[in-house]
């Protein structure tokens, strides 16, 4: 009888240790913290989308542009430059995203200019950078 009880207890302990090890291995990838998944594409990764006007559109100096920013704590984390010129912007929170609106610098004429967006964060895995190119011409 004692052998059967010891064998059953040993099997239960072995199974318990094995399950604990598997759980630890499974959860180690995402670290359970603000860094997100091991791929760097966790929930903290900002997403920038819906760039208006579209890439390579021809616009006039001072034209308006906008985009959507998902997964950011606040709009103060965003910086925008156009052809390396910092531009100010307005941010409107529409849960769960921000609508960002700005204007091209009026000083840019007859040139292509990249709108460059950077989102800063405490962890580099949670930062983002994106943008698009517009053709600025006088009409």
Q: Which CATH superfamily is domain 47-136 in?
A: Immunoglobulins (2.60.40.10)
Domain boundaries, the chain: 1-30, 47-136
The 128-136 sheet, strands edge to edge: 58-59, 128-136, 111-119, 78-82, 85-86
pLDDT the model gives residue 14: 54
Output the tens digit of pLDDT for each of the chain's 139 residues.
555 655 554 555 454 444 444 444 443 333 333 333 444 445 688 999 999 999 999 999 999 999 999 999 899 999 999 999 999 999 999 999 999 999 999 999 999 999 999 999 878 889 999 999 999 999 7
From the list 91, 89, 50, 51, the residue with the least C-alpha distance to 74 is 91
Torsion of CA 74, 76, 77, 82, to 10 degrees: 130
pLDDT the model gives residue 80: 98
| Share in percent of the chain as helix, strand, coil (round to 5) | 25, 40, 40
Q: Write the Ramachandran bin of 83: left for phi over 0, alpha for psi from -120 to 50, otherwise beta.
A: left
Length of the chain equals: 139
């Amino acid at each position: 009888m004692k052998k059967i009880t010891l064998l059953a207890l040993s099997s239960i302990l072995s199974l318990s240790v094995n399950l604990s090890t598997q759980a630890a291995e499974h959860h180690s990838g995402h670290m359970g913290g603000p860094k997100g998944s091991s791929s760097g594409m966790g929930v903290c990764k900002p997403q920038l989308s819906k760039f208006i006007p579209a890439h390579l559109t021809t616009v006039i100096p001072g034209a308006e542009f906008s985009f959507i920013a998902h997964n950011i704590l606040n709009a103060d984390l965003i910086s925008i430059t156009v052809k390396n010129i910092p531009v100010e912007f307005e941010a409107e929170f529409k849960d769960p995203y921000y609508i960002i609106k700005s204007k091209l610098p009026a000083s840019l004429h007859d040139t292509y200019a990249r709108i460059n967006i950077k989102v800063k964060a405490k962890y580099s895995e949670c930062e983002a950078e994106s943008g698009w190119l517009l053709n600025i011409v006088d009409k």
